[in-house]
Amino acid sequence: MTLEAQKAAARSAAFARRKLAHETGHRGAAGHLSQVLAGYRGVPLSGYMPMRTEIDPLPAMSEAAAHGRVGVPVIRAKAQPLVFSQWEPDCALVDGPFGAMVPAVERLITPEVLIVPLVAFSRSGGRLGYGGGFYDRTLQGLRAQRPTLAIGFAYAAQEDAELPLEATDQPLDMIVTEREVIEITR
């Protein structure tokens, strides 16, 4: 089986686990994320606008926005790194590419901490995304400029010890779920 076929199979299984976890409902799912972000008050960070069955980081992002700049990703073009537009609770949003909401008024920021959505993760910091490579390109570019912390945010059910990864996949520095904070040591 090719690496792409392995990734497709892993994504399919992970989407099913994520959907089930999302349907179960997790009140306070962002609690651990809020605790982690409290240690980075004032540091520019990026979250994301949750789509479909993604775990919702908005409560933690709202708390962080009271102490510093928070952005959300904006896709400029296929095969390009993301840019980040400043987001505030209750700011006006418009439909962006790929169905993600983005701030109606674009004010670009450069995050040093990224809350990264994902399809599946491993405890060693592996991340399986949607296949577009947006976060891999973005993290590679940001990390070339300065230390950049990548926090994967997911339901615990999205864990997969056998992720098919390739050399261009950027590792996570930490994973936060509704149940725990997983520190990655390298």
59 domain-assigned: yes
Q: Does residue 128 fall inside a structural domain?
A: no
pLDDT in tens, 128-151: 998 889 999 999 999 999 999 999
Domain holding 105, by residue range, is 3-111+139-161+172-183
Examine residue 167 and state whether it is found in any structural domain, yes or no: no
3 state DSSP class of 24? helix
The count of domains in the chain is: 1
Q: How far apart are CA 47 and CA 38, in angstroms?
A: 14
pLDDT tens digits, residue range 55-79? 999 999 999 999 999 999 999 988 8
Tokens linked to 166: 């390739």
Residue 118, in any domain of the structure = no
Q: Would residue 8 be called left, alpha or beta, if left means φ above 0 and alpha means ψ between -120 and 50 degrees?
A: alpha
pTM over 0.85: yes
Closest by CA position to 26, among listed 51, 53, 62: 53
CATH number at residue 156: 3.40.50.10420
